[in-house]
Amino acid sequence: MFFVPIFCFGQVNESFLDGNFINNPIWTGSTSNFFVNSAFQLQSQATSTSTSFLFTPSEAIENATWECWVKITYSTSATNYAAIYLVSDKNDITSGCNGYYVQIGGTNDEVSLFVQEGTKKTKIIDGVDKRTDGNPVELRIKVTRDADGNFALYSKLPTEKDFVLEGTVQNNVVKTSSYFGLLFANTSSTGSDYYFDDIVVTGTKPIDKTAPVWTSFSLMQPNKLNLGFSEAMDYTYAAYSVNPDFASPTSQIISADKSSVELTFSPDFERGKIYSLKVSGLTDLAGNALPDTSRTFGIIESKKPGDLVFNEVMFDNPINSLEYIEIYNTSDNVLDVSGLVFATRKTDGTLNTGNAIPRKTWMLPYTYLALCENADSVRNYHNCPPESNILSTSWSSLNNESATLVLTNATKDTIYDELTYNVKWHHPLIKNTKGVALERINPLLPTQNAATWHSAASAVNYGTPGYKNSQYRDISGNETSEKTVWTEPEAFSPDNDGINDVCFIHYKTDAPGYVANAVILNQVGSKVFQLAANNLLATEGFLTWDGKTNSGKNANVGIYVLYFEMFNPQTGHRKQLKLPIVVSSR
């Protein structure tokens, strides 16, 4: 019997025959309001109105049985009752706990089972009314629970031979236990009217098969990392490595509850550099390995306008999904975007309240972040890949026709990007634009330009939240020859399938100051679309054609001619070129 408490995970067998509640087992809580009387029963001794409790360690919750004798020498009421905490995660419930308890008495003078989540208490077995309608109240309580969470609540009065079933229920809201407890609530005149005895708790604690979660990660400059986890961890065999060029940490400090660790490295981390931390050998106390074993990080830099741009917007959501916006980090810095606000402009030009990006949100260089009301809903609808970065946040509905989006700081005195979108920017083949996002062709293109935006491809369910756009095109124009004007690709298919939907017309001049005229002609020489009319050119750049005609319709499949003329008014130098462009179908 000496070894039973060790192998039964803190089970309880208490009859107070030792004359105290300080040893074997140890009870903690409102100790001054309890004493063991001459009959070796735990009795209340509150001198004023109170809610008093005692708790002792107990992890029993599966295949468990709880028994206790209770006596109240007063009529129970809403302010005079007793409770037996079968399960609790805390031994001080002043500010709430997570657990299950049986209440004896109360407004309906009954024996009932409750589940408690923090300070929220929910009755899950409603016992027989007037069961405790007497003075005194004396009864034995018995509760059973199996491994599947099936509870049965029983009570027995002194006049009854067998236990009476109060009710059954299945409930798995609370899955673990740390303590068993007793509680009484008294008025000023009933402080000594509560008695408890013959406590027996048997059962086992649940087998932990759930992997721990890496819940937080922060860089504390210049050379410390803090890792937080969802539960206590075993660091005995943990190893950490930072790439590139870092050895193992020089020291680690484990928190008292073992749910976090602070790592110190040498030398200091450098600004403008991206690092990768890899963890191995880290498990929870039950031996479940940490599945998430790497994180990328860097020193946070200050933001400036243009570092963050709108990259995609779903302003008229599909029936089974939600609106969202996406921003992109164009810089080579790690940016903290926590607290930035995305808002819309009112008709008078002022900003609406908007919605803030959640705390502890970082963006690595050249990465995407989609924001919406429910990340899981958007992720599932668009079948997003694992690397997609989507966050849930508060949301205000966007206009389905046109609106001005603004990305600003919390005080709204710095604007990082501004976009006035329009439903007319969608591809002409999209007859019903509901559920179709507008994507930026390249983050380096100007925001407020219809040619910068294109309807998302059908192949991705018309949206790519949190990852590279379906309509993304490289605008570097990696042309090694001495061509002045060239097309990329020479044949394109503007059918909105995400593959070669746009034709880029790259140009390169030999001096500044050139002006260009560019038109698309059909096979008989008629003008189909005006690309440029006396446009002042940069020394290097591009124009785009998405297959639209001047009438807004989609060009027919066939061979077209690009007529490109540029001249320099200062030098009189003129160049004229004709290049074929093929509009195809897939």
E-assigned strand segments in 187-232: 194-204, 214-220, 224-229
- In this structure, is the dihedral angle defined by the CA atoms of residues 57, 59, 60 and 61, taken in order, positive or negative? positive
| Token duo for residue 5 | 């408490």
The pLDDT, as a whole number, for residue 431 is 81
CA-closest candidate to residue 451, choices 438, 466, 460, 465 = 438
- The string of DSSP letters for 300-342 reads EE---TTSEEEEEEE-S--TTS--EEEEEE-SSSEEE-TT-EE
pLDDT per position in the chain (586 positions), as tens? 333 333 344 589 999 999 999 888 999 999 999 999 999 999 999 999 999 999 999 999 999 999 999 999 999 999 999 999 999 999 999 999 999 999 999 999 999 999 999 999 999 999 999 999 989 999 999 999 999 999 999 999 999 999 999 999 999 999 999 999 999 999 999 999 999 999 999 999 888 888 999 988 888 878 999 999 989 999 999 999 998 878 889 999 999 999 999 999 988 998 878 889 999 999 999 899 999 899 888 888 899 999 999 999 999 999 999 999 999 999 988 899 999 999 999 999 999 999 999 987 889 889 999 999 999 999 999 999 888 999 999 999 999 999 999 999 999 999 999 999 999 998 776 789 999 999 998 998 999 998 889 888 777 888 999 999 987 877 765 554 567 899 988 888 888 777 888 899 988 887 767 888 999 999 888 899 999 998 877 777 888 898 989 988 888 988 899 999 988 877 888 889 989 999 987 6
Ranges of beta strands (E only) in 23-136 are: 28-29, 34-36, 42-44, 50-57, 62-72, 81-88, 97-105, 110-118, 120-125
Rounded CA separation 270/221 (Å): 10
Q: Which domains does the chain have, with CATH numbers?
A: 4-204 (2.60.120.200), 214-298 (2.60.40.1220), 302-460 (2.60.40.1260), 485-583 (2.60.40.1220)
Which pLDDT does position 8 carry in this prediction?
A: 43
Residue 81, token pair as written in the block: 């009752």
Tokens of 148: 């599947």
Residue 464 phi/psi, 5-degree rounding, is -130, 60
- What are the φ and ψ backbone dihedral angles of 358, each rounded to 5 degrees? -60, 160
The three-state DSSP-derived secondary structure of 143-187 is EEECCCCEEEEEEECCCCCCCEEEEEEECCCCCCCCEEEEEEEEC
Per-residue tokens: 120:
């929220």
Query: How many alpha carbons fall within 13 Å on the CB side of residue 11?
Result: 21
Predicted confidence at residue 454, as pLDDT, reads 85
Identify the bridge partners of residue 142 per DSSP, sorted by sequence position: 67, 154
The pair of structure tokens assigned to 343 is 């808002």
Whether the CB-CB separation of 498 and 473 falls below 8 Å is answered with no
In whole angstroms, what is the distance from residue 532 CA to residue 7 CA? 84
pLDDT at 509: 81
| DSSP bridge pairs for 396 | none
Q: Are 438 and 323 in contact (CB under 8 A)?
A: no
Dihedral sign of CA atoms 328, 331, 336, 340 in order: negative
Query: Which of 268, 254, 261, 253 has its CA nearest to residue 223?
Result: 268
Do residues 355 and 341 lie in contact, with contact meaning Cβ atoms separated by under 8 Å? yes
Q: How far apart are CA 415 and CA 303, in angstroms?
A: 11
- Give CA–CA dist 31/45, Å, rounded: 10
φ, ψ of residue 532 to 5 degrees: the values are: -150, 145
Task: Give residue 124's Cα distance to chain centre.
Answer: 30
Using the structure block, give the residue that is written with the tokens 């490109």: 564
Predicted local confidence at residue 362, as pLDDT: 85
Q: What is the pLDDT of residue 32?
A: 96
Round to whole Å and give the CA distance between 176 and 164: 27
Identify the pLDDT of residue 316: 96
**β pairing state of 527-536 and 214-220:** unpaired
What's the half-sphere exposure (Cβ side, CA atoms, 13 Å) at 422?
8
For 495-529, the DSSP string reads SSSSSS-SEEEEEE-SSS--EEEEEEE-TTS-EEE
Cα dihedral value 126, 132, 138, 143, nearest 10? 0
pLDDT at 221: 73
And the tokens for 305?
Answer: 């306008």
